[in-house]
């Protein structure tokens, strides 16, 4: 099925199951410990255990590596290095690689700290770990570049972020009545999922089965097949439950590649979980940015010039952090200049982290909008409303937004939050020793869709089974897809069984980029539509007139039980959803608004978030419980990004030194206030047959800026170097 025309009325519009607040189907399994994550699968044969030894330098070469003591250690079965690693191919699947070296196993060249230099397999984890400590590696160190600020002059336009120039920005900015020219910096950040990157690999003849923690099954299947030089049809990947990913599990790393290679050599299963320091330094992270935002407006507040420059860094061939992306679409302004420059750094690979681009880009853009509003003497909400635009600002009215609820979100949020009670000037409101401040920011996330497929099978007895490669990374995929299938076939959710995360099932979008629920649901929709047609024909009804309700298919007053149509063998159908050019005809994005109240201690500058509200327009909300959870999670990450998340770089050795959850600070329960979410009524006909849009990353996009703006409103101190910590507030007071 191809979605190339705006959605028309369809069975999803009944909303008997879809849009209803169903709790998670897999919830009982998770809370009772019965949902197996990658490292927990039980195999008939006892597994061996792998341990990855990471490089002790950031850049250079391995002069020699002595594994004799490790190989002689108790329980050790195999030690792999670049000297005996089976030959591997290059993958075109997203995976950081170095040139002229085996993917995921360094040697002789080392490109970043903690890149794998050896892999030890033993009968127990403790034996493998102990043996790894016996390996002696002698390095030849090459000086590296680990500081973004020192490389901005060498930055070049990256392939994945072309310059965008409309009108005459420099002239318009120079002639604007009121301007701001501001620089913001954001640090390296880690996805730090609770579940580590982990894999169990085992071979049966020429067939490889990999249980691994990954967000997109067909990506890792293809990538492993190419890397290991085996036919893709010989690789099976299972990722039924994934304990968080936030982008880092869109890639595959040393645990998957080395476990599979070692299992083939040994003829035994190998299971590997990356130790926490390697999750920070061996896998991916969100790269630091330096951002310059320039805005020019007339004295009424109408934007005439919008400029956003970003500098970021990565290993050679790595993607950029697209922090300018939202600035292309969020506000009006006829003269625009959006540019990204990327330089080479010798840090671990930079890649996607929740809301890549917008999460940090909106810290800068929405901070600059707040500062412009103050300079104009305007309410920050009013300035945003004035510059709302119904079409793509770069391409004009010929490319309207398919739906855009920004203004409604701002107005709804302002009323619900009590924005009228906002302190009009910094340090105006104090309660005891606490300064109180309010902040606002817009929310934005580009709507993406991906091809996705599924198999649905009406079982004897009238229940329905759904199978698709789609993953559940804590987002509620099992429940949402079950709701869509139930709606399409006129069943209750309890009559649907959903099976996910197996490459034996039809390829799916997977989870990432906020495309997962909408895209995978559309694939299930297509499969169910095919099954509806088959069942209607089997009942002797016309498909266009068939109504599926209460376990029956109806045509007028006549009906047939689905169980009767299933018979003794059941009836199955396959379907997939692909897309036309509606995303070219219409700009598509989710919009919203964040409102935050903070209190800052007038003596210590300790920052506490009192309350936060997000108002979201993201198309049809398929399940308000799982959607709310996604928004609350995004808001929590946004608060962390604003106030605490920061990878500290050792600028001599080239590693992230706070590489564990004890020293990489993220919000805990005590840090998170009373948070609420309001969903706006919205249907986006150009997005999918479900009229839904991406949601998972909208919650983080902008909330950090609302926190920062609230901190300024409370303290009178603008901090543009994130995260905002009390020392920076105190330094502002001292000035």
Residues annotated catalytic, as ranges:
697
Could you give the CA distance from residue 190 to residue 643 in angstroms, rounded to a whole number?
15
Angle at 196 between CA 195 and CA 197, to 5 degrees: 125
DSSP one-letter code for 435: E
| DSSP states of 16-78 | SSTTS-PPPTTHHHHHTT-S--GGG---SSPPEEEEEEEPSSSSEEEEEEE-HHHHTSTTEEE
Angle at 661 between CA 672 and CA 654, to 5 degrees: 125
Residues whose CB is less than 8 angstroms from the CB of residue 535 and which lie 6 or more positions away in sequence, other chains included: 458, 546, 548, 553, 562, 565, 571
Start-to-end C-alpha separation, the chain: 63
How far, CA to CA in Å, does 201 sit from each of 31, 49, 50, 262, 278?
Answer: 26, 11, 11, 9, 19
User: Could you tell me the strand order of the sheet in which 2-3 lies?
Assistant: 2-3, 571-579, 452-458, 464-468, 496-500
Angle at 188 between CA 182 and CA 191, to 5 degrees: 125
Closest to 565 (Cα-Cα) out of 578, 556, 555: 555
Closest to 503 (Cα-Cα) out of 95, 197, 209: 209
- Quote the strand ranges of 268-334, DSSP E: 270-273, 289-297, 303-314
Question: Cβ atoms within 10 A of the Cβ of 15, count?
Answer: 13
In terms of Cβ atoms closer than 10 Å to its own Cβ (0-12, 13-18, 19+), residue 542 is exposed
Helical residues (DSSP H) of 377-450, grouped into ranges: 380-386, 406-417
Could you give the CA distance from residue 236 to residue 77 in angstroms, rounded to a whole number?
25
Reading the block at residue 291, the tokens are: 């951002």
Reading the block at residue 725, the tokens are: 């910590």
Closest to 699 (Cα-Cα) out of 640, 645, 647, 622: 640
Could you give the CA distance from residue 365 to residue 441 in angstroms, rounded to a whole number?
9
**Residues 445 and 697 sit within 8 Å (Cβ to Cβ):** yes
Closest to 521 (Cα-Cα) out of 571, 575, 474: 575
Residue 573: in which H helix or E strand, if any?
strand 571-579
Could you give the CA distance from residue 635 to residue 696 in angstroms, rounded to a whole number?
10
Q: φ and ψ at 254, to 5 degrees? A: -65, -30
Could you give the CA distance from residue 710 to residue 434 in angstroms, rounded to a whole number?
13
- Quote the strand ranges of 67-152, DSSP E: 76-80, 109-110, 116-122, 136-141
Q: φ and ψ at 610, to 5 degrees? A: -80, -50
Q: φ and ψ at 274, to 5 degrees? A: -70, 130
Angle at 724 between CA 734 and CA 286, to 5 degrees: 145
Residues whose CB is less than 8 angstroms from the CB of residue 277 and which lie 6 or more positions away in sequence, other chains included: 54, 114, 659, 660
**Residues 675 and 413 sit within 8 Å (Cβ to Cβ):** no
Dihedral of CA atoms 8, 12, 14, 17 in degrees, nearest 10, equals -170
Residues in the chain, total: 735
Reading the block at residue 369, the tokens are: 């909008």
């Amino acid at each position: 099925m191809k979605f190339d025309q705006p959605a028309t009325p369809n069975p999803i519009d009944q909303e008997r199951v879809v849009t209803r607040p169903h709790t998670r189907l897999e919830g009982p399994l998770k809370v009772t410990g019965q949902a197996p994550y990658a490292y927990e699968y039980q195999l008939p044969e006892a597994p061996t255990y792998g341990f990855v030894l990471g490089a002790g330098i950031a850049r250079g070469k391995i002069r020699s590596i002595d594994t004799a003591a490790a190989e002689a250690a108790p329980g050790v079965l195999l030690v792999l290095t670049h000297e005996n690693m089976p030959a591997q191919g290059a993958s075109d699947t997203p995976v950081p690689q170095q040139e002229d070296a085996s993917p995921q196993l360094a040697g002789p060249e080392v490109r970043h700290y903690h890149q794998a230099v050896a892999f030890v397999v033993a009968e127990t984890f403790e034996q493998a770990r102990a043996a790894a400590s016996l390996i002696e590696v002698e390095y030849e160190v090459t000086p590296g570049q680990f500081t973004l600020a020192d490389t901005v002059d060498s930055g070049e336009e990256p392939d994945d972020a072309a310059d965008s120039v409309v009108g005459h920005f420099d002239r318009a900015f120079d002639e604007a009545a009121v301007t701001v020219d501001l620089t913001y910096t954001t640090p390296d950040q880690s996805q730090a999922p609770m579940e580590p990157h982990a894999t169990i690999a085992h071979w049966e003849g020429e067939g490889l089965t990999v249980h691994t923690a990954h967000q997109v099954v067909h990506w890792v299947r293809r990538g492993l097949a190419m890397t290991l030089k085996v036919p893709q049809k010989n690789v099976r990947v299972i990722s039924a439950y994934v304990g968080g990913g936030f982008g880092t599990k869109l890639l595959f790393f040393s645990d998957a590649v080395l476990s599979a290679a070692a299992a083939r050599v040994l003829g035994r299963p190998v299971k590997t979980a990356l130790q926490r320091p390697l999750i920070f330094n061996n896998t991916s992270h969100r790269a630091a940015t330096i951002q310059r935002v320039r805005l020019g407006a007339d004295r009424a507040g109408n934007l005439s010039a919008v400029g956003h420059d970003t500098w970021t860094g990565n290993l050679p061939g790595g993607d950029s952090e697209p922090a300018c992306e939202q600035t292309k679409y969020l506000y009006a302004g006829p003269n625009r200049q959006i540019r990204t420059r990327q330089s080479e750094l010798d840090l671990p690979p930079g890649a996607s982290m929740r809301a890549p681009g917008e999460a940090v880009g909106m810290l800068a853009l929405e901070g600059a909008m707040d500062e412009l509003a103050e300079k104009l003497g305007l309410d920050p909400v009013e300035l945003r409303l004035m510059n709302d635009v119904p079409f793509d600002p770069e391409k004009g009215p010929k490319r309207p937004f398919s739906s855009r609820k920004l203004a409604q979100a701002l107005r709804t949020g302002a009323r619900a939050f009590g924005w009228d009670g906002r302190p009009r000037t910094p340090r105006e409101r104090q309660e005891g020793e606490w300064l109180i401040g309010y902040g606002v920011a817009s929310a934005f996330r580009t709507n993406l869709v991906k091809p996705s497929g599924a198999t649905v099978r009406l079982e004897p007895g009238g229940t329905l089974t759904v199978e698709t490669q789609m993953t559940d990374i804590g987002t509620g995929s099992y429940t949402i897809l079950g709701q869509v299938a139930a709606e399409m076939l006129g069943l209750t959710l309890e009559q649907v069984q959903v099976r996910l995360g197996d490459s034996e099932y039809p390829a799916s979008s997977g989870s990432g980029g906020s495309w997962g629920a909408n895209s995978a649901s559309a694939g299930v929709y297509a499969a169910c539509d095919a099954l509806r047609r088959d069942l209607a024909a089997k009942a002797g009804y016309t498909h266009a007139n068939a109504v599926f309700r209460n376990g029956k298919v109806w045509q007028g007053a006549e009906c047939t039980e689905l169980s009767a149509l299933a018979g003794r063998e059941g009836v199955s159908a396959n379907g997939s959803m692909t897309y036309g050019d509606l995303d070219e005809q219409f700009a598509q994005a989710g919009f919203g608004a964040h409102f935050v109240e903070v209190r800052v201690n007038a003596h210590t500058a300790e920052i506490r978030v009192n309350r936060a509200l997000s108002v979201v327009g993201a198309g049809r909300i398929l399940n308000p419980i799982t959607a709310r959870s996604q928004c609350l999670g995004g808001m929590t990450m946004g608060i962390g990004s604003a106030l605490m998340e920061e990878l500290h770089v050792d600028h001599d050795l080239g590693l992230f030194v706070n590489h564990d959850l004890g020293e990489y600070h993220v919000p805990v329960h005590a840090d998170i206030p009373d948070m609420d979410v309001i969903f706006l009524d919205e249907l986006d006909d150009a997005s999918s047959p479900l009229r839904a849009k991406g949601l998972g990353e909208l919650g983080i996009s902008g909330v950090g800026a609302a926190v920062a703006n609230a901190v300024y409103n409370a303290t009178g101190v603008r901090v543009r170097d994130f995260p905002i910590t009390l020392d920076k507030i105190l330094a502002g007071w001292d000035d």
